[in-house]
Structures are given as structure tokens and as C-alpha cells.
Amino acid sequence: MNISGATELLVLLGDPVSHSLSPLMQNGWIADHNLDAVYVALPLKGESPVAAIRALKAFGLKGANVTVPYKEAAAAAADVREAPVANVLRWERDGTLSAFNTDGPGFIDALTEAAPEWRARVKRVLMVGAGGAAQAIAATLAPHVDTIHFVNRTSERADAAALAIPNGRVLRWDDLERGFGAADLIVQATSLGMSGNPDIAWPVGVCRANAIVADIVYRPLETALLSAARARGLATLDGLGLLIHQGARAFQYWFGVDPDPAKARSRLTAALA
Ligand code: ATR
């Protein structure tokens, strides 16, 4: 990488960001395409994230990814936004700031990669979790499926997430097993099973034979949920799929070219090993 006075700057805004794999992934693609750009993680601290993001306008940045806890602030700071929650920012030539959300579409890309015929077979979705990731994925999946049932430890958040889409429903946490048995696609969108976090005994035994099981957790890459689903011969989708495809769509927004997801997967898998 040759950094010069003309090198364009892309940043990851969030807190914390030091464990992020996005710099490795995005700089790999930047090198693949011989672009004069560099992607670095910026831990954003302070009381006024919207003001901080707006102040970045003055520095001539090209773009940003935004992660927890600033996705709402990023959308609010933008002049043009496609949703109230943004994970991608792009500073335009006219000085305005545009905000996009590639989490939902990135999940669909990853799902299509793992199970190309999913549209024909996924009618009922079980969404485990009701946080930012669950809501972004649900909003994009909703028009393609009959129902999305949310099951969440805190039931009020499941209620709110279900109300935000036309075909949202709610299951009680105690009914997790019933949800597993009824779903064509199960999306695990909580931090359960992540290294250093608690996990539960997932009722994979009751899954339908053609169910697809997705986990957004990628540390470890093979969670207990995915390993149980694979042991049963179910189609699975790991957390790197979402990470890579949301990033690929961001790269396309910034540079106008589609980067290679397979190259990112091999670099990220090596980094996680
Ligand atoms: P993100 O934006 O990454 O989705 P989030 O908004 O904090 O993060 O959401 C985290 C999700 O993981 C929530 O659904 C949360 O459940 P609550 O709404 O009840 O907090 C879920 N979660 C985190 N830890 C959990 C645990 N130990 N058991 C069950 N659910 C958990």
C-alpha cells in the first residue's frame, strides 16, 4: 500500500472498533482493485456523534462504515438517507452526505449464496432477537416471505420489531422450540453463542428437514447452533456471509465496482483461525 497526499480515506465509525474485521476486508479489496485509498477504524467517543459525523465533511473523506452504537446517528447526520438506520456513509462531490443501509440486502446476498433457491422454499421466518441487526434483516426479508416471527428475551422489543413490518408476529421466549419447528428460515440475530457470551441449547432437533439456519455471529465461525444444524444436514449460513456482503455493497457504493466475496472470505477465515 502506497499512501500519498492523494490517497482517499475511508473509515469505520463505532465504539468499540478495535476488533473489527472490516479494515482487513476493505483494504484487501482496495488492493485487489489497485485503488489509491485506505480504510481505517476510528473509535468515535463523546456525547455528540451526529455533530462529530457532520464535522467529518470538512476533511474530504470518501466514505464510512458505521457500526454499533452510531447507526441512527449516522442516518441523522446525513443530508440524504434511505432509512433511519445507516451502516454506510458516502461524502458526495457536492459536499453532501448520503446514508445507506446494506445490512438487510447483504443478508439477502449471503442467503442467496448459501441457498440459491430460498425464495421458493422460505415462507415462514423465525427471527431470534429484535435488535438493530434483526430489524435490518427483517425489513429487507419481509416483502419476500409470508411471516416473520420475532422471539426475544425482552418481549417489548419483539413487539416493537414485529409492528415495524407488515407481516411481523411475536412468539414468547418460552415458545422458542415451537418457532424452530415451524420455520423455513431461522435467523439467529443475538449475541448468544459469541465467544465470551452465554449460549443456550438450541432446539435444532425439531427443525423441518428443509429448514435453513443462519447465524449472524462469526466469532466463532461455527457456533453451536450452526454445528447442530449441519449435523442434521440443514443448509446453514454463517456470520461471515452477512459481514462480507454488507461490506461488498458498501464498496460498490464508494467505488462503483463489485469486489470479490470469495477473496474476502479466505482472508477473514485466515484471520479468525
Ligand atoms: P445489534 O444491533 O447488534 O442487534 P442489540 O440491539 O443490542 O445489538 O441487540 C442484541 C440482541 O441480542 C437483542 O435481541 C438482545 O435481546 P434483548 O432485547 O432482550 O436485550 C439479544 N441478547 C443479547 N444477549 C442475550 C442473552 N444473553 N440472551 C438472550 N438474548 C440476548
Q: Which domain, by its residues, includes 155?
A: 104-241
Radius of gyration, CA atoms only, the chain: 19
Atom number in ligand 1 closest to CA 198: 27
What H or E segment, with its residue span, contains residue 246? helix 239-255
Per-position b or e across 73-96, b if 16+ CB within 10 A of its CB = bbbbbbeebebebbbbbbbeeeee
Ligand 1 atom 2: residue of nearest CA: 132
Question: Rounded to an integer, what distance in angstroms lies between the CA atom of residue 267 and that of residue 109?
Answer: 19
Check: CB of residue 219 under 8 Å from CB of residue 272.
Answer: yes
- Residue 15 domain flag: yes
- Cβ of residue 154 lying under 6 Å from some atom of ligand 1: yes
Q: Rounded to 5, what percent of the chain is helix, strand, coil? A: 45, 20, 40
Atom number in ligand 1 closest to CA 154: 19
- Cβ of residue 198 lying under 6 Å from some atom of ligand 1: yes
pTM of the model: 0.95
- Asked whether residue 111 falls in the same domain as residue 236, the answer is yes
What H or E segment, with its residue span, contains residue 141? helix 132-141
- Dig out the grid coordinates for 248 from the structure: 461488498
- Residue 271 domain flag: no
What H or E segment, with its residue span, contains residue 155? helix 155-163
Question: Rounded to an integer, what distance in angstroms lies between the CA atom of residue 223 and that of residue 238?
Answer: 8
Residue 61 sits in a domain of what CATH number?
A: 3.40.50.10860
SS3 34: coil
pLDDT at 2: 87
- Cβ of residue 119 lying under 6 Å from some atom of ligand 1: no
- Residue 272 domain flag: no
Peptide bond preceding 16 in cis form (omega within 30 of 0)? yes
Going by pLDDT thresholds of 50, 70 and 90, the confidence category of residue 31 is: very high
- 50-82 tens-digit pLDDT: 999 999 999 999 999 999 999 999 999 999 999
| Average pLDDT taken over every residue of the chain | 97
Whether 263 is catalytic: no
Question: Rounded to an integer, what distance in angstroms lies between the CA atom of residue 20 and that of residue 34?
Answer: 23
Q: Please report the sign of the dihedral spanned by the C-alpha atoms of residue 186, residue 202, residue 221, residue 40.
A: positive
Cα–ligand 1 centroid distance for 212 (angstroms): 21
- Asked whether residue 88 falls in the same domain as residue 158, the answer is no
pLDDT at 115: 96
Q: Hey, which of 137, 191, 215 would you mutate to test ligand 1's pocket, going by the most ligand atoms within 8 Å of its Cβ? A: 191
| Domain end residue (candidates: 101, 122, 142) | 101
Total domains, the chain? 2
Cα–ligand 1 centroid distance for 131 (angstroms): 6
Going by pLDDT thresholds of 50, 70 and 90, the confidence category of residue 152 is: very high
What H or E segment, with its residue span, contains residue 236? strand 235-237
Cα–ligand 1 centroid distance for 147 (angstroms): 21
1 pLDDT more than 80: no
pLDDT, mean of residues 11-19: 97
- Dig out the grid coordinates for 18 from the structure: 478495535
| Domain end residue (candidates: 62, 83, 101) | 101
- 250-260 tens-digit pLDDT: 999 999 999 99
**Of 220, 216, 164, residue with least CA distance to 190:** 216
- 205-230 tens-digit pLDDT: 999 999 999 999 999 999 999 999 99
| Domain end residue (candidates: 101, 135, 156) | 101
Question: Rounded to an integer, what distance in angstroms lies between the CA atom of residue 153 and that of residue 130?
Answer: 9
pLDDT, mean of residues 93-118: 97
- Asked whether residue 220 falls in the same domain as residue 232, the answer is yes
- Residue 248 domain flag: no
Q: Which one is catalytic: 45, 62, 71, 263?
A: 71
- Asked whether residue 132 falls in the same domain as residue 202, the answer is yes
- Dig out the grid coordinates for 130 from the structure: 429484535
- 112-142 tens-digit pLDDT: 999 999 999 999 999 999 999 999 999 999 9
